[in-house]
Every structure is written in C-alpha cells, then in structure tokens.
Amino acid sequence: MNPLTLAVDVQGGDYGPTVVMQGLLEAVGRYDKPLAVYLCGNQDEIASAFEVLRHVPQKQNVRFAVEHCPQRISPRDVPARAWKTKAQSSIVRCVALQREGKADVSLSAGDTRFLMGASIFILGRMEGVARPALAAFLPTANQKPALLLDVGANLNCRAEQLAAFGRMGYAYAQANFGLEKPTVALLNIGMEPSKGPRNIREADRLLSQTLPGYIGFVEGGGVLSGSADVIVCDGFSGNIMLKLCESFYGLAMSLLKQKPELARHLKDSISILNPENYGAVPLLGIKGVVFKAHGSSTATVIANAFLTAVHTAERSVLNVRANYARKEP
C-alpha cells in the first residue's frame, strides 16, 4: 500500500518557507510510519530552505517531492476565482494534488479565504452542505477535545447553516474522536429555548428534530467544561472565542512570570490549554481532508499542525482514497 501522502503549502504563513520546512522536518522526526510529502512552493526557495536546514537529520521513512508553484496569490485576488486564475500558486496546487488523487490531505498556513475557495471549487462540497466551515479543537476540563465550528469562515449564519454545521461536526467527531454518538450543542447566551437570537432558536428546533446527538444550548461557560463534544456557532463568535481561548494560556504564563519555578510545573499540567498543541484546524463540509494552520505559526506549531493532519488522515484516508483515484508522487 502507498504511504500516506500530504500536500503542504510551504509558501503559506507569515514566516516563509524555511520555517514551514523546519516544522515539517521536526514533525517527521517524531513520526515513524512511512510518509510522502509534496512540498508546494517556489523550487528555488525550497532548495535554499533545505540548504539552511541541512543540519536537521533526515529520516528514511519520508519521501519529499517538490511541486514547483511559480504563481503567488495576492490579497487583491478573488477567493472564489483564484483556484482558476492562480492555479499554479502553492495554496491551490496543494488542494489540486488531492483532486488529482496524488495526495490524501492538504495543509496550509495561508489565507483562509483562498484555501476555502480552492477547496470548495476543486474538491467540492459534501452532499447537503451549502457553506463549508472551519472547525477548531478546544481543550476541555475532562481532558477530551471539543470541536468548535464555525471559527471564521461564515460570519453571519442562517438557522439552516447552523444546523448543517451541527451535522458536519457530528460526522467529524464520530470519525475522529472515536465516539459512537457524539454530543452536539448550540452556543447561546442562556439555556432556555426562549433565550437568544432568532436564528439560534430556529437552529435549535431543526437540530432537535434531526440530529441524534443534539443536546440543546451551551453557554460560554460550558464550552471548556466538556459539556458537549461538538459546539456550533457562527464564525464571528467562534473566531473570537477561539482566539480568546488561545490567549488564556499566554495570560496564565505571563501572570506567573515572577515565579518561574511555578510556571515550569504548571506548564505540564495545563499544557492542554496550549494552542500550539493542535496547530491546525480542519475544513469541514469538503470532499477531502484539508487543514488550515495559523498564519503566525512557528516551526513547532507547523510540526504539530502536520501531525494533527497526519493523524486525522490516518483515520479517514480510506474513505478519501475511495473517493479519488490515487497516483504516487
């Protein structure tokens, strides 16, 4: 059987190809099964990154293939059209390699809108999904991750969209959290059915009727307590909550600046709160496994992002491979 194959956008992210490549080498150093990796980006920059990183020990279990991408996406490009007009950009090529059956999963730290656009138009939406979503993993008090969606792809959501997010999250949690019947909740400002905005109350009604794992509303305080495996909200709320959660770890550490001893002990105990541990979040509602890493990802975050993508792909790759004919790099 062919090794698991990832397409990585090495041009994505704020720090350039060398940092992304450093993260990849770090990641494969921590992974023992065979892997193949397409490095999508400018071939000269990839070559110099390899030169800079020549001190990093290479592993036998991984094969790298350079996918030269001469084009660059600019913020002036249109997200819904860049998959065509910038077909030779690194972000679009990653996704296209999946469509061509050459890669099992894509990872990019580039602009979410372009990654989403390429995914929708090249890979296509899953049946019944009008708007794909970006999902994130949150730490919880009972040590299991919770899936939060949407976290920024859809700012305002109609009730039907929220209900679809619930179904997408349920399916993802079933496949990836090893749960037969994951619990799904809608984020709201109260627990009673009469509380909150109309679209959320209507989504509550839709989900009650259609989703077996649906358990009703959850408030902001219930998100991290692990009261649901999947938490559904609009992309504005999800985005601010995700970034707020991510900042909590930094706040705790900064409050402990004066006590380095304590900070060191604490670091292990609350490392579940460290956003760097996941590194990447999946796009849901897409026919394929696409992961988005933070633009500001350091090499360590890229490494964790890569491994998150690998572990997810390990679980779902058979499905994905069944969808597309697959060739070797």
What residues line the site for a copy of itself (CB under 8 A)?
139-141, 152, 155-156, 187, 189, 196-197, 219-225, 233, 235-237, 239-248, 250-252, 254-256, 258-259, 262, 265-266, 269-270, 272-273
Backbone angles phi, psi at 251, to 5 degrees: -65, -45
CB 290 within 8 A of CB 91: no
Spatial separation of the C-alpha atoms in residues 92 and 116, rounded to whole Å: 10
Backbone angles phi, psi at 14, to 5 degrees: -80, -15
For residues 103 and 281, which CB has a smaller minimum distance to a copy of itself in the complex?
A: 281
For residues 152 and 169, which CB has a smaller minimum distance to a copy of itself in the complex?
A: 152
Nearest by Cα to 329 from 39, 26, 44? 39
Spatial separation of the C-alpha atoms in residues 69 and 40, rounded to whole Å: 6
For residues 175 and 272, which CB has a smaller minimum distance to a copy of itself in the complex?
A: 272
Least Å distance between CB 131 and a copy of itself? Answer: 16
Least Å distance between CB 197 and a copy of itself? Answer: 5
Least Å distance between CB 36 and a copy of itself? Answer: 35
For the chain, helix, strand, coil in percent to 5 are 45, 20, 40
For residues 128 and 260, which CB has a smaller minimum distance to a copy of itself in the complex?
A: 260
Beta carbons within 10 angstroms of residue 191's beta carbon: 12
For residues 227 and 312, which CB has a smaller minimum distance to a copy of itself in the complex?
A: 227
Q: Within its chain, how far is the Cα of 323 from the centroid?
A: 20
Spatial separation of the C-alpha atoms in residues 28 and 255, rounded to whole Å: 34
Spatial separation of the C-alpha atoms in residues 299 and 305, rounded to whole Å: 10
Least Å distance between CB 169 and a copy of itself? Answer: 17
For residues 173 and 223, which CB has a smaller minimum distance to a copy of itself in the complex?
A: 223
Length of the chain: 329
Least Å distance between CB 74 and a copy of itself? Answer: 14
For residues 53 and 273, which CB has a smaller minimum distance to a copy of itself in the complex?
A: 273
Least Å distance between CB 258 and a copy of itself? Answer: 8
Per-residue tokens: 284: 């849901």
For residues 43 and 225, which CB has a smaller minimum distance to a copy of itself in the complex?
A: 225
Beta carbons within 10 angstroms of residue 144's beta carbon: 14
Residue appearing with tokens 């999902």: 135
Least Å distance between CB 230 and a copy of itself? Answer: 16
Least Å distance between CB 286 and a copy of itself? Answer: 21
Residue 21, H or E segment: helix 17-29
Q: Within its chain, how far is the Cα of 36 from the centroid?
A: 20
